[in-house]
Every structure is written in C-alpha cells, then in structure tokens.
C-alpha cells in the first residue's frame, strides 16, 4: 500500500469520528465522503470484471457495504435544532464504519504480502474468481455502497424530520385550523 492509500483510509475514518460531535447536515457533510470514495474509485476501479463468479463476489461485497451504510445511517442521530438538521454519529455508527474500513484496510495489507497473495490466489481459483481486479472492484463498490447508503439514509431522515417540523409549524401558526378540523370531523361522524 502506498502513502496515499493510507492517507485516504485514515481520512475516511476521520470523517465519521468528526461526526461523533454533533454538526449541521450541510453539503460539505455529504460531499466530503463522496469525494474521498470517488477519488479512490478513480484511482483503483478501472473496470468491473464479469467473468466467472466475479459478479457474485462484487455483488456480495456491495450488498454488505449497503447493509452497513443503511445501519450506520440509522444509528446516526438526526434531529432538528436551531432551524437546521443536525447529525451525530453514535458509537454504533462509528463502530460499523471502523469495522468495515478496518476490514478493507486489513484485506489490502494482507493481500499485498506473499502469504496473503498465495491464499487469495488459491481461493480465487477454487471459487472461479478471475483476478485481482474483481477483488478491487468488490472492495471499492463495498465502500461506495456504504458511503452512499449511509449518507442517503441520513439525508432522507433529515428531509422527513424537516417536513414534519414545517408541517407542525404551519399547523401551529394558523389560528383556528385545529378547531376547523375538529368541527369537520364532528360533522362527518
């Protein structure tokens, strides 16, 4: 692994640790992790192999990334305060991120050593995985799935919360609305 590989992995870990402090949900909150995985994809994802069981491997890893992303998004606290959606990654969300990043980082280190390379080669042949690019695609798309679905879950939860707050405010700000609704309900019954 190169120095830039270590830097990008550490930066991705720091993104979630930074979110363990509550912060506003902003474009930067969304774009920074997307930019980091986008950079990694542009550097490593040259193609998506489709021979043998490559797509099964890629689909499995991507699915795991998506599951981790949705779970991480659900374990992130989303609230409305001071006119803004605010988020805070909980211990569970941070733990999922560290586990998945640690797995990818550990896998990259292990597979770059002779014994890891040998074991991975035997496993690949036994399971009809055609080469190293299948593993690269699987790991990168796993990270993409995790980042995109974590952010998507958080943004969707923030949008739902914002619309609930806006609805509640519009109901409270219009005098007599509750009374009129109750009167209609009584008349319909």
Give the whole-angstrom CA distance, residue 33 versus residue 16: 9
Residue with tokens 């920074």: 32
Compute the average pLDDT of residues 66-75: 96
Coil/strand/helix, residue 95: helix
pLDDT digits (tens, 9 = 90+) for 26-45: 998 889 888 888 888 888 88
Burial class (CB in 10 A: 0-12, 13-18, 19+), 103: middle
- pLDDT for 10: 76
Question: Considering only CA atoms, which of 57, 74, 29 is closest in space to residue 140?
Answer: 57
Which two structure tokens, joined as six digits, stand for 78?
Answer: 């989303």
Distance, in Å, from the CA atom of 189 to the CA atom of 10, rounded to the nearest integer, reads 62
**pLDDT digits 0-9 by tens, 92-119:** 998 998 898 888 888 888 988 898 899 9
What is the structure's pLDDT at 186?
39
Residues 6+ apart with CB under 8 A from 134: 49, 52, 54, 57, 58, 124
Q: What was the pLDDT predicted at 160?
A: 93
């Amino acid at each position: 692994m190169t120095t830039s590989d270590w830097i990008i992995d550490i930066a991705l870990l720091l993104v979630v640790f930074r979110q363990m402090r509550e912060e506003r949900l902003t474009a930067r909150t969304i774009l920074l992790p997307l930019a980091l995985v986008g950079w990694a994809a542009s550097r490593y994802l040259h193609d998506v192999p489709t021979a043998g069981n490559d797509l099964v491997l890629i689909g499995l890893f991507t699915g795991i990334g998506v599951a981790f992303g949705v779970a991480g998004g659900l374990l992130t606290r989303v609230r409305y305060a001071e006119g803004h959606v605010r988020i805070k990654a909980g211990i569970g969300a941070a733990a999922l991120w560290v586990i998945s990043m640690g797995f990818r980082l550990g896998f990259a280190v292990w597979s770059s050593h002779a014994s890891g390379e040998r074991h991975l080669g035997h496993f690949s042949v036994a399971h009809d995985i055609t080469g190293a690019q299948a593993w690269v695609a699987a790991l990168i798309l796993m990270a993409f799935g995790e980042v995109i679905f974590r952010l998507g879950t958080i943004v969707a939860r923030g949008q739902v919360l914002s619309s609930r707050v806006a609805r509640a405010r519009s109901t409270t700000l219009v005098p007599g609305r509750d009374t009129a609704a109750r009167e209609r309900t009584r008349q319909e019954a």
